[in-house]
Structure 1
């Protein structure tokens, strides 16, 4: 394989180091972040028992992470463009590793929640910097970029399912603290690898200034949007707190657009949306983030709360879906990149919709081989094709100086879509549960709610398929 010096006039890697090294480190950093999003969910009941967490504190173990993660995404992406991949990635790894250690050592709710908030900031840096690293390292080789992005995206997909499995194994075998501690040795190894492999950024005589007003508006707007969405699950969409947070978020995003139009060095150069496929690709990312996160949530709750699966069994049952997501991305990368599979995203939407509708008939006594494996394989295949097309759309033809911005936009869309999808479908499922006739058992009520949510998700998959028809030929 070629070295980074052969691909870019401004080398990213030290001389004589192979390109696969930086791609491996980028993929591992991204995998760690994605896995952390699901691994902690499995450990929540054990955290609650050990630290005597209230119901609100238990929810904030997830929400504190999501708020800082979603809120800091664009800022983290732009920082990499301005200050260099190496220092920004090292800073993100340091924050993520240190906060993981602090969370594992937490003796109470306050320290655990603070650690999760800082961990979200580090995760925002890693999520954007890892994708940017792949884009920058393979900028002048389209085939290398397509293959690297395929591997990066495949490991992202596998991370969701593997996180549930690893979380269950660690929680049952070593205790919940190890779902936090597991990040420490990986983070330290990555810090050593990045520091020794990547070149420091060249000194610049006139570096553009960071758009502080735009950064504040986007960060606060994203955080309030995520906050409003996550709180809607417990408080309802008509809650004054939820409506107030969403209204403030909308106002801040309007202010952000005004600031960016007037800024000499904007955080988000609005003209980037003129690139072919970028706007449609990010819209797809939003919908796919909602579909993937909501599917994992609904399948997990159905298996654990209704079918009686344990945490480890649930993770193993969802593993084929994650592996299929990864396999599809690896198998169809060249097809999507060459433009010969223009209708593959539509077929993917149809497969995902069929699998979700099948899950909408999931029985209370669900057998894995008969009721779970088939539909989850369809969902994994379909979403894999859609995500592959969306990833190609948001990265194809992006200039190197905008690699961080493109990564930040794509990751922000996916993150916000995930929060919105879970909140909206969980609220729908809860409303259906409340409408069940008096006397029905709790498991049947939960299953009825999840059935409605699965059918709604199937409709969203079809909508994503229609949006995918707007994708143009590859750049």
Structure 2
């Protein structure tokens, strides 16, 4: 007993370092989702981009992030999550440098897409590394996921605030260049604090032996996923300026539908699909994924619209607009940390339902906001939305990890985050189209329509939460792997 206690105690600092290291990747990928929103008016004026062009600045990143995560997760399962995570960190830094020196809008959009590629390599594999370290203990994993999710959620919420401060001090290019020291620190920590564990290598070898063909890149499925999602988002973005009957818009929707159907058909027949459809045979997994789509569609879309509302309808500077977002950070911080305790005590269903209700009420309050609403009128919804999301998202992530086999943790987390990022891209495209006018009345009307849609989506999310298995569990392979890691560390 004493020996076991000493093992657990000695392993704690190592587990803490793993959590800190993988959180760096989550922070930087999530920070770039929202930090750019506060800079959109500045970017549009400097690079002569209209609202549709600004939507592409946001969605180029989100699309690449979404469509490549499945392949990145599969490659992480095959070649090692640590290796893919480190490579993604380097690529993200280089792409951020390209964003910071972009000379025109097309160059910025291309660099943003490259950032998305790096983010896709980091995010699913950071969660896989976390699951390797904590998967043996459901309650410990729930708390670790809560802290990991808190780091990303706070980054999302802090993005507009940090962006406003950086723009005021150094200009809009600084919001991308700030990623360079963060990535350098994360890469160094990965090399020092996440050595390739012997147990993980053994597990990967066993997984490869168990499969008839090792998982790799599913080129057919990957190509169709890119076509389907890009065509759909492009059609949504161009719907308002061109009209539904325009050949590019109508053709985009048709192409997206055909590519989507073809994608499902290809994945159903592929020997090593990038999207294992069998995962969706588990009710908890499917319900949690739908929940994630609803959450990201509402939040990403609303942050885009609120950035336009604060700066164009209310006339705020980037710094003032960024500070107006400050309550979001506090709400995420408290609720994300609390979520791990709530999940450990009540399971995943209760915080998901409560979070959906709380965030939905926050969006409902925003529906009554107009250009003349006092800033204090935004305070309550700006606290309720992150409080609800921060409570629900760690529980949702825990539900996904608990429903998947240990050897497919990278793929399962990639499916979840792909769905969430895809939902975010669609949210930006759809809500941005609703609020795409230049007049304050058009922006306010679009924001009110977006809040009504958000409430409906979170009602759907609440219904999906009822289908999730209430208690997370750990798989036997995950437990055996964690035991092996502890024994290996004691040597």
Cα distance change of structure 1 residues 132 and 374 upon mapping to structure 2, 3 Å threshold = same
1:353 maps to 360
Q: What whole-Å deviation, never above 9, does each CA across 1:377-425 have from its counterpart, x for those lacking one?
A: 1222222333233222222232221111111111111111112223333
Cα distance change of structure 1 residues 69 and 233 upon mapping to structure 2, 3 Å threshold = farther
CA distance in 2, matches of 1:341, 1:253: 31
Structure 1 residue 158: deviation in Å? Answer: 1.2
CA distance in 2, matches of 1:263, 1:182: 41
Structure 1 residue 81: deviation in Å? Answer: 0.8
Q: Say if 2:279 is the partner of 1:283.
A: no
Give 1 or 2: higher helix fraction. Answer: 2
1:171 maps to 167
Identify which of 370, 385, 400 aligns with 2:391: 385
Identify which of 326, 337, 341 aligns with 1:319: 326
Structure 1 residue 6: deviation in Å? Answer: 7.1
CA distance in 2, matches of 1:115, 1:338: 44
Preserved contact between residue 75 and residue 219 of structure 1 (Cα < 8 Å): no
Structure 1 residue 292: deviation in Å? Answer: 1.3
CA distance in 1, matches of 2:467, 2:163: 39
Please say which of residues 71-80 and 207-216 is displaced more in the overlay: 207-216
2:140 maps to 144
Q: Say if 2:80 is the partner of 1:84.
A: yes
Q: Say if 2:420 is the partner of 1:414.
A: yes
CA distance in 2, matches of 1:50, 1:423: 22
Structure 1 residue 29: deviation in Å? Answer: 0.8
1:458 maps to 455
Task: Report 1:217-256 matches (<5 A).
Answer: 217-232=224-239, 234-256=241-263
Displacement over 6 Å in runs of 4+? none
Task: Report 1:37-436 matches (<5 A).
Answer: 37-53=33-49, 57-200=53-196, 202=201, 204=205, 208-210=214-216, 211-232=218-239, 234-339=241-346, 342-369=349-376, 371-429=377-435
CA distance in 2, matches of 1:422, 1:57: 12
Q: Secondary structure at the match of 2:378?
A: helix
Preserved contact between residue 66 and residue 226 of structure 1 (Cα < 8 Å): no
CA distance in 2, matches of 1:113, 1:298: 19
Preserved contact between residue 164 and residue 319 of structure 2 (Cα < 8 Å): yes
Q: Secondary structure at the match of 1:404?
A: helix
TM-score by length of 2: 0.84
Q: Secondary structure at the match of 2:403?
A: coil
**Uncovered stretches (5+) of structure 1, i.e. residues with no partner:** 8-14, 434-440
TM-score by length of 1: 0.87
Preserved contact between residue 230 and residue 419 of structure 1 (Cα < 8 Å): no
Structure 1 residue 453: deviation in Å? Answer: 2.5
Structure 1 residue 54: deviation in Å? Answer: 6.5
RMSD: 2.9
Preserved contact between residue 48 and residue 58 of structure 1 (Cα < 8 Å): yes
Task: Report 1:431-450 matches (<5 A).
Answer: 442-450=439-447
CA distance in 2, matches of 1:256, 1:96: 28
Cα distance change of structure 1 residues 470 and 406 upon mapping to structure 2, 3 Å threshold = same
Task: Report 1:3-18 matches (<5 A).
Answer: 18=14
1:11 maps to none
Preserved contact between residue 144 and residue 340 of structure 2 (Cα < 8 Å): no
**Uncovered stretches (5+) of structure 2, i.e. residues with no partner:** 473-491
Cα distance change of structure 1 residues 417 and 67 upon mapping to structure 2, 3 Å threshold = closer
Structure 1 residue 253: deviation in Å? Answer: 2.9
